[in-house]
A and B are shown apart, each in its own frame.
Chain A
Amino acid sequence: MNASSQGTLQREDRPSPSRWLGWRPLRSEQARPRRRLSSKAKEQLAGVAFASPWLLGFLAFTLVPLVLGAVYSLTNYHLLNSPHFIGAANYRLLAQNPSFKQSLYTTGILLLVGVPATVLFPLGYALLMNAAARFQRTFRTMMFVPSLIPAAASGLVWAWLFNTNFGLVNDALRFAHMPTPNWLGTVWGARSALVIVQVWGAGTSAILLLAGLQDIPPELLDAARVDGAGAWSRFWHVTLPKLSPVLFFNVVYSVLGVIQLFTQPLVMFGTSLYVALTFVFDVAFNDLAIGAGAAASWVVVIGTVAIVLLLFRTQRWWVHYD
């Protein structure tokens, strides 16, 4: 038993000499002793059994809903009426729906402005957190702690801070004799507010980058210094390439986060300014228009998948794994 199971392991781990020569025993399964076959079947059974929670969950909560959603999107399904096939009509209607277009536009703006902001600000935080300084633990905690605030609470806090008449933000602007915008009641005010809230809560990205910075061997930076590289050059040619995998992760994480923004926009401005998800929510769960809601979510999903794939394609230009 002992020897035979070890033999199995070796065979699977590295190719045997006979495989290098391109020779494979035919019907090897049957050539093996019975005992080993049954242990392999046992192994298979154990693997599937242990993985079954996720396998079943994937079927029930991902694959089936995914297919159902695609089907619903081609129907006029309303939760209280039975569905009828209407082809691509939902998609055509969405393409003409100004609220939907505006929701995608807002999410697009957040992608273009919010993603760079929530990647670059944490990079700055991480460099600050990595500097040798007194009270560094306190500073790090202070920069990180906003990311521990539940989205609903941070939405409520920022709605209060951005209050046009009594909010602290406009108090500060008034103090500096600057214009005091209606943050939550105007489209661009609300978009700017949302970006600021995202940057505020991006401490997790900073912590990941800090871990990445601390992983860079000091010898590497010392060697660059000896070679006469200045601070900027060391950052650009040593630090940044070493950080690029973490930065890439942060970009993807931020893109997925921005597209799925829901709680904060809902708490801060309800349905007066849609983002992609609050639009879907309003259509599917307030109007109970399942067909249209499913179609809108499919548009968002396809857009997300396309952006993520595109991001992965860019890796070879700027991400260095070594």
Chain B
Amino acid sequence: MTEQQAQRPSGSHVARRSLSRAGLYGLLVLVSGVTVIPLYWMLVSSVTPNATLRLFPPHLFPTNPHLSIYGQAVSNVPYLRYFLNTLLVTSANVVGLTLSSVIVAYAFARIRWRGRDIAFSVLLLTLFLPGIAELVPQYVIFHDLGWVGTFLPLTVPAAFGSAFNIFVLRQFFRRLPNELFEAARVDGASHWWALWRITVPLSKAPIAAMAILNFMDGWEMFQQPLIYLTNQNDFTLGIGLYSYQSSHGAQYNEIMAASVLFLLPMTLVFVLGQRALVSGSMTAAALKG
């Protein structure tokens, strides 16, 4: 077979091509459909009476949505109270983690100090250390401090930054043009000034991305609240839902309605913040090191 023959589009080639197009769309619809079905079913279940949910075959399309189930969920779970608790813990984590990580990342990216490289290697190592390493002794420490049953174990550690935030931000800060910092130094500017007047304004996207990720982590935090919050009134949404499920496991529709109300704020923050995540192309930079 010559080169020319190979490149000439033959009938079978065209057929095969449209077949593979069809296969591609078939796969796309199949895969994305299967991934979305659980969420669709969560929404449908949240507006369907429990008796109907027990029928076979299942009623896949709600003809008469019972939005009142959301009202029941909100009052039975104490949604508003748990929402405010969650918001409190999450805000403390967003502000604390983001702010302190920005400052620490600057120290690793733009200041030369003895011990920096060792400290940074240790920081990288902690990224691979599973959190369970500290879980039990941390509890003892917080117990001895008398912090168990308060929000302090969920909020105070945030003020010390997170290794992941620091690592990602440091990668960005390092790439900012040196000349700007040189010029600032020549003018006698301090590092504090260079941090807030040069680094932060030029790194809005990655900082926003970190803040969004911190919001999501704070919102879905589960293990820590479960361990440290002992008073039912202090529960966050995640463990509030869990405890409601433990006692009212058969109220599938209310649990699904409460789950929707739990994930909605987090998803909303992500969608609104998506532009920062996309334009930051944060992941690629973090991976390339």
Contacts and interface: CB of A to CB of B under 8 A. Distances in A.
A-B complex: 4 closest residue pairs judged by Cβ atoms:
A57-B160, A47-B113, A150-B220, A50-B107
Contact of A304 (B42, B126, B130, B182): B130
Given A72-B136, A148-B267, A297-B132, A143 B222 contact: no
A267 B111 contact: no
Interface in A256-305: 256, 259-260, 262-263, 266-267, 270, 276-277, 280-281, 284-285, 290, 293-294, 297-298, 300-301, 304-305
A200 interface: yes
Interface in A22-62: 43-44, 46-51, 53-58, 60-62
B106 to A, nearest CB: 6
A54 B104 contact: yes
A152 B129 contact: no
A262 B31 contact: no
A62 B222 contact: no
Listed residue (B135, B166, B222) with the most chain A CB atoms within 10 angstroms of its CB: B135
Contact of B263 (A72, A148, A246): A148
A142 B135 CA distance: 35
Given A151-B222, A160-B45, A72 B137 contact: yes
Given A65-B141, A297-B136, A57 B157 contact: yes
Q: How extensive is the interface on chain A, given as a class?
A: 35 or more
Contacts, number: 262
Contacts of A241: none
Contact of A58 (B24, B107, B126, B239): B126
A150 B261 CA distance: 11
A208 B287 contact: yes
A165 B123 CA distance: 49
Chain A interface SS verdict (over half): helix
Interface stretch (A98-106, A168-176, A186-194): A168-176
Nearest to B141: A65
Given A43-B111, A211-B283, A53 B27 contact: no
A125 interface: yes
Contact of A153 (B58, B128, B259, B270): B259
